[in-house]
A and B are shown apart, each in its own frame.
Chain A
Amino acid sequence: MKMTIHSLIKSGAVLCTVFMLILFTAGKSFSADPNTFNRLLAPASERNPPPPTDGIHDANGPGAAALQTPKTAFHDLPKSKSGNYIDWVKALDEKKISPRYDRLDPNAVPVVMDLNIVREVKGSMPNVVYPHKQHTEWLDCSNCHPAIFIPQKGANDISMAAILLGEKCGVCHGKVAFPVSECRRCHSQKKEKGSTKVKQQK
């Protein structure tokens, strides 16, 4: 009987110590430095991770380890500040990549249309210049017309809100093409003096 009481006390003490240790360690891990960089942003070191550690692939499966890592493929490609951190248009221009235009024919030549559409925007931002050239290098007319954009001047109501929600330009930009954080790549034409509505109101 003495033995059991003794053992109870002893095991209780050990359990208490362990419990305190758990609290201490857990508390320590949750109270990391609050003033670190990238609090809400994945740090640069985590960009283009290999599939097994990217949080989406199953590292325990046989497939993830066999897949190519993005960094290997991106090694020689021109860099950009967002998305895949690759400037895909430049990569194509500089012939760093040669994606097929036809599923079977590696020599098929794209039907490129060189026509810029300028959209005058309401606020203080520079006007948008939409280049058909870079888009038709990748896409077919039917990808955008007429479902996403009616091919007629003034017929398309486009707003940044719609784009952010994945409509209009946002069908690709912000999902696979460069995201809206690259404002200047679209808003690229300087407005003439006094041409903005903001200025007209003054």
Chain B
Amino acid sequence: MKTYLRRHARSNKERYLNINLLLALLVLLLLIMVTLDLFNPRSAHAEYADVVINNYSDEAGMRPVVFPHWFHRIRFRCKVCHADLGFKFDAGGNDINMLKIIDGEYCGACHDGDIAWSVENCDLCHSGQPGTPTQVHGSTLQKLKTSPAADAK
């Protein structure tokens, strides 16, 4: 009986230790979050004119596409994509899908493994945070402090 009690007591003590350890870790985590300011959700501050295209990606279980305008305008004039390749000036308004791309339309006109790297590099385009809505990042409407678009950031 005595031994049973002693063992019981010890197991309780161990349980205390575990609870205390867990709580200590929780407090430590909180302190880290406070010092790193992780409580304040930061709005996205990506590059001006980065276009997020999420017409089908989320549904298909892929990360949405992020198109960096800045990277492409260093290499091509606007006219190449927006006149020759038929991209409308409308984020999400071009019905782009992978079949069209592999058939050489839209992005596929260059991303063919010749002018630019090819379609098997899925993750280079599909690199956005899941759930990010289709948008032109940093557009005037989006940046207004009082517009409905500002809430949707």
Contacts and interface: CB of A to CB of B under 8 A. Distances in A.
B6 to A, nearest CB: 12
Given A49-B45, A103-B84, A73 B71 contact: yes
Given A99-B76, A164-B141, A83 B48 contact: yes
Interface string A136-170: 01111011000000000000000000001110001
Given A55-B42, A73-B74, A103-B109, A62 B23 contact: no
A164 B140 contact: yes
Contacts, number: 184
Nearest to A101: B77
Interface residues of A, number: 68
B127 A63 contact: yes
Q: What class of interface size applies to chain B in its complex with A?
A: 35 or more
A75 B126 CA distance: 26
B84 A62 contact: no
Contacts of B19: 11, 14
Interface in A163-179: 164-166, 170-172, 174-176, 179
Nearest to A7: B12
B20 interface: yes
A92 to B, nearest CB: 9
Contact of B20 (A14, A67, A74): A14
Interface of A: 3, 7, 10-11, 14-15, 18, 21-22, 25-26, 28-30, 32, 40, 42, 46-49, 51, 54-58, 61-64, 66-68, 70, 73-74, 82-86, 88, 97, 99-104, 110, 137-140, 142-143, 164-166, 170-172, 174-176, 179-180
